[in-house]
Structure 1
Amino acid sequence: DSIEVTLTSQRGEKFTAKLQETLSHSGEFSGSFPLVAGEKPTPGDDKMEAWFGDAITLTYASKTDATAKFEKTINVVKGTDGNLLVFEKKYATERVAIESQFRMAEAYFELFKNYRALKQLPAATNALNEGMQLLKELSNDYPSKQYEARTDYLLGQFAQELKKYDEAVSYYKRIVQNHSDHPLAPDAQYKLGQCYEEKNDMDTASAEYVTLAYTWPENPLVANVVVRIAEYFYNKKEYPTAAEVSKKFVERFPQHEWAERMLFRAAQCWYKAEQFGKAGKEFDLLVDNYPRSKFRPDAVFWAGESYRSAGQLDSAYRRYKRATWDYPESDAAKFARGKLVLPEMVNIADRDTASTQQ
C-alpha cells in the first residue's frame, strides 16, 4: 500500500510526497525525496525547497476517517544546529594547548564568515565574540612573542571582515614590523594593501603592494600584487607605467593564467599612450606566443589598428587581412573588413593585385 503526505513550510512551500509501506500490512510507511536549497520556493511544483533553519510540517490525513490526522514538525539544519564548545583538557605540552586554541579561533572565524553570508547576523555576532574572546585569553595566558604574529593575524582578519580597516591595519603592521621573518608576514603585508584598497586609498595600497613585491619577491602573492599595481596605474591613466608593469608580469610569469590578459593590457596601454609602434609589437607578441589565446583575434585586429595609426600601412593591411582569413566569424574580422575599404587599404590591395598579375 501507499499513502500521501503533505509537507509545508513557513516560506509558503507545499509539496506532496508518496510513501510506500515497508512490509505487507506492517502499517509503517517510508519514502525519500531530495530537499532543494531555496529561499523563495514555488508551491506545488515537483520539488521540495527549504532554507537552513526552516521548520517543515508533515501532515497525513486519512481518506477514510476525517478525524484521523497526524502532524509532525522538523527543522532543516544539516549541521547548522551544532555547537562549538571549548572543553577543558590537560595537554602534554604547551605547544599542543596553544595550537588547539588557535584552531578553535580559526573555526570561529569561519563560522563568523559563513553566518554573515547566510545573513544570520545574531549567530555571526556570537561567533565573532567567542573568537575574539578566545584570542584575548590566548594572549593573556601565553604572552610570548612567539605566538603574537598568529594572534594578530587572526584579530586583523576579524577586524577586516567587519570593515574596521584602521584596526585591522594596526594588527597587520605589527606583524610586518615586529615579525618580518614570520611565515605570515607576507600575507599580512598583502592584507595591508587590501585594507587600504577597500578604504579607496589606492595610493597607499599601491605602496604596500610594492613593498610586498620587493621584500618577498618569491612569494606567490606577488603575481596578484603586480596585477593590482598595473590596474592602479591604468585607472590613473598613467598608461606607459601600466604597460611596463603589465609586461614585467608577463616576463616573470609567462605561464600564469593571467599572462595573456596582461600582455593584451600592456599593448592596450601603449595604444592609449599613442605609442602605436610599441602597441603593435606587443599585440604581435601575444599572437606569436599564445596561439590558443582567446585574445588572439582581437590582438590581430588591434595590431592592424596600431600600425595604421603609426603610419605603417603595409603592416596594418596584413593584420586586417589575417583577421579575416584566420577568424572569419569573429567580431575582429567584421571590424577588419570595415578597415579594408579605407582608401589607403584599397590602394595597397590594388597594388598587390597588380604585382601578382605581372
Structure 2
Amino acid sequence: MSTNDPQLPAKQRRSRTGLITGIAVAAVVVIVTAVLIVVNVVGGSSSSSAATGSSAKPVTVSIGVTDAAQPYWRTFSDLAKKKLNVTVKLVNFSDYSQPNPALSQKQLDLNEFQHIQFLANYNVTNHDDIQPIGATAVYPLPLYSLNYKKPSELPANAKVAIPNDAINEARGLLVLQSAGLVDLKGGGSAFSTTADVSSSKVQLTTLDASQTAQALQTGSVDAAIVNNNYATAAKIPATDAIFKDDPASASAAPYVNVFAARKADAANPLYLKLAALYHDPTVEKQVQTANGGTAVFRTVSAKDLQASLSKVEADAKAAAKK
C-alpha cells in the first residue's frame, strides 16, 4: 500500500462517542476516496491524455508549419478543440530548414510542411530519426507543353526543361521516365540526377525551378517540368499539362506530404488522431481551394509511411556515396 492511499481510522474503544467518531471518520474517507476516483477518471493529466489519445483534460499541441495564415489551419484548429479538446498552437516558419530542428529540440510537438523525400534527406544529413505519422496529400508534378498534347508527340531530341535543384530534378526525371521519355539506371530513385540517365528520347535542359515556366512560354523548350506554384504564377492553364506523375504510384511515394513527430512520439494516439483530422471534409475542401484543386489526398498508415521513409533514407545514403 502506498503512502498516498487513504488510511483507515485507528480502532476505537466501544463507546458511544467513539462509535460516532469512527462512523464520521469512515464517511469522510469514503467521500475522499470517491472524489479521488472521479478526479483520476475524469481529470487525468495532460501527459496521460497525450499518451492515450483521450483529451478529457485540455492539452496544447504545438505544430510547426510554413503556411499558418491559410484558412484551413483555423478550421483544423477549431475541429481539434471541438473533437479532441486539444488547443493547437501553430508555429509558423518562413524557412524550410527550421521546422525539423525545432521538432528535434522539443520546441514543437509535431510539424507538417514536408514530404518524405525531404524528411529522409534531413534525417540522413543530420543523423536524426524524425518519423512520419500521418499522410496529407501529394501534389502531382506536371510536364507541360504548349504545342503537343501528349509525351509521345514530342519529336526526337525535343528540348525538355527540368528543375536543377536536387529534390525537383530527381522527381522531374522520374516523371519523364514514367512518360516514356528517359530511362534511369536501376529504375531511378528520389535522388537521381541527369548523370543517372541511361537513355533519352529528348534533350534535357536543367534550369532553376523558377525559370522552367518562362523557358516554355518563350519557346526556348518544347516541354517543361513546372512546379504547381510557378505554373499558377505564370498563368499556365492546367489543360497544358501533357503528363503528371501518378500519386498512387511507387515513384510518387517519396512525395507524400506528412505530419512528423519525434521517434519517441511516433505511436502517440493523440498525435495520430490530430494527423487524421486533416482529412476532415471541411479541412480538405479548404486545402483544395488554397492549392487550386491540385491536391491528391492520401491516407497511408504510419507504419507504411515509416517503411517508405526507411527506403528513401537508404536511397539518400547510397546517393551520398556516389
Please report the TM-score for the alignment, with normalisation by the length of structure 2. Answer: 0.23
Q: 1 or 2, which has the higher helix percentage?
A: 1
Higher normalized contact order (CA 8 Å, seq sep 6+, divided by chain length): 2
Higher strand share: 2
Larger radius of gyration: 1
